[in-house]
């Protein structure tokens, strides 16, 4: 995968949310999605939105769920957590969430700030299982992955413009990045040292955004894409500053923008089928709509067991009107593990 600028541009807590408020979030083990020779991290910790959420939202009252058909049709049910699994890390991500608390207030999901509180609860269990010294080693040499921010701009600025009444786009970017900085510093304070942080994708090429703004010609919303680029430049500068000021830290920028743009601009290059069930072997054939329903607006509850789906999801860049297909995630994951993740 020729994402040459990806790097160079610089499950879940079972039984508790916060002891009182998050009582049904499940701590699951980190799934073995790594290649045969993965980087040697003892654990991985995931924070963010639907790009990382493996099912946390199933246990809270929100419409931002994917625990229904046709989502997850190729995967088994929830794994159970054991003390051994706790040693491998945990996933705290919540679909529909963001760095801005207002984002999660709209969707009733778990914002990044609350995810950090869950992490503190997890650390308490880890210390009981592994002991103080080993727990510190696991967290300090484990990999912290964060992917969030897209919902902040979609929900609060572009589609439900509550924040647009308060900020210009540049001001809101700076506001969100202050939240990013605060979250990363808190994770560092809690023992994290190795961080991989994703930038924004080309938001204007998400099928839902195309439908809302360019429904006739089905072209990307270039203004929103330009905003994503500007935000990502600022994010990279922030990560460099943090690495220079936080002793022993290492920050890697995951260039989601160029990664997805590469696929959208050269869809026929990626023809390797995911599995024996895949029909297409010629690459992506559809880049402007999702596999679910019409592919124009269906996402979350609008993509359900009554909604028809395409014959071969691996020929679609997007599974629904917002989220990439499994094939895109697999391509991206392989590239991240090989070229981006810090060692």
Q: Which candidate, 275, 257, 276, places its Cα nearest to that of 332?
A: 257
Q: Are 331 and 1 in contact, with CB atoms under 8 Å apart?
A: yes
50 catalytic residue (yes or no): yes
Q: Which candidate, 44, 188, 172, places its Cα nearest to that of 99?
A: 172
H/E stretch holding 265 reads: helix 256-265
If you ran DSSP here, which 8-state letter would residue 154 be given? I
Question: One of 10, 50, 94, 256 is an active-site residue; which one?
Answer: 50
If you ran DSSP here, which 8-state letter would residue 77 be given? -
Cα–Cα distance between 226 and 204 in angstroms, integer? 9
Torsion angles phi and psi, residue 301, rounded to 5: -65, -20
Torsion angles phi and psi, residue 252, rounded to 5: -115, 135
Torsion angles phi and psi, residue 197, rounded to 5: -120, 125
If you ran DSSP here, which 8-state letter would residue 184 be given? H
Q: Which candidate, 211, 92, 71, places its Cα nearest to that of 154?
A: 211
Tokens 């500053």 belong to 241
Cα–Cα distance between 325 and 314 in angstroms, integer? 7
Q: Are 210 and 223 in contact, with CB atoms under 8 Å apart?
A: no
- Active-site residue list: 50, 320, 323
């Amino acid at each position: 995968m020729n994402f040459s600028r990806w790097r160079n541009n610089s499950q879940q807590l079972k039984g508790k949310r916060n002891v009182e408020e998050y009582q049904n979030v499940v701590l699951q083990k980190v799934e073995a999605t790594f290649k045969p020779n993965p980087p040697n991290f003892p654990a991985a910790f995931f924070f963010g939105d639907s790009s990382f959420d493996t099912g946390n939202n199933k246990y809270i009252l929100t419409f931002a769920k994917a625990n229904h058909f046709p989502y997850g049709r190729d995967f088994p049910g929830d794994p159970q957590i054991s003390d051994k699994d706790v040693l491998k890390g945990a996933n705290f991500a919540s679909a529909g969430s963001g760095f801005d608390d207002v984002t999660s207030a709209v969707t009733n999901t778990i914002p990044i700030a609350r995810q950090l509180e869950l992490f503190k609860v997890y650390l308490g269990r880890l210390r009981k299982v592994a002991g103080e010294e080993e727990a510190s080693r696991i967290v300090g040499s484990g990999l912290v992955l964060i992917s969030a921010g897209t919902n902040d701009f979609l929900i609060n600025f572009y589609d439900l413009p509550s924040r647009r009444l308060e900020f210009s786009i540049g001001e809101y970017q700076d506001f969100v990045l202050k939240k990013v900085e605060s979250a990363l510093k808190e994770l560092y304070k809690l023992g994290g040292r190795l961080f991989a942080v994703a930038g924004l994708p080309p938001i204007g090429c998400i099928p839902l955004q195309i439908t809302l703004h360019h429904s006739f010609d089905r072209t990307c919303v270039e203004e929103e894409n330009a905003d994503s680029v500007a935000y990502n430049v600022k994010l990279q500068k922030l990560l460099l500053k943090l690495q220079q000021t936080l002793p022993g830290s290492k920050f890697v920028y995951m260039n989601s923008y160029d990664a997805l743009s590469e696929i959208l601009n050269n869809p026929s290059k990626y023809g390797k089928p995911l599995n024996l069930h895949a029909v297409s072997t010629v690459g992506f054939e559809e880049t402007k709509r999702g596999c679910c329903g019409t592919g124009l607006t269906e996402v979350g509850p609008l993509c359900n067991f009554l909604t028809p789906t395409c014959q071969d999801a691996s020929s679609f860049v997007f599974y629904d009107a917002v989220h990439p297909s499994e094939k895109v995630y697999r391509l991206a994951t392989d590239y991240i593990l090989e070229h981006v993740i810090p060692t």
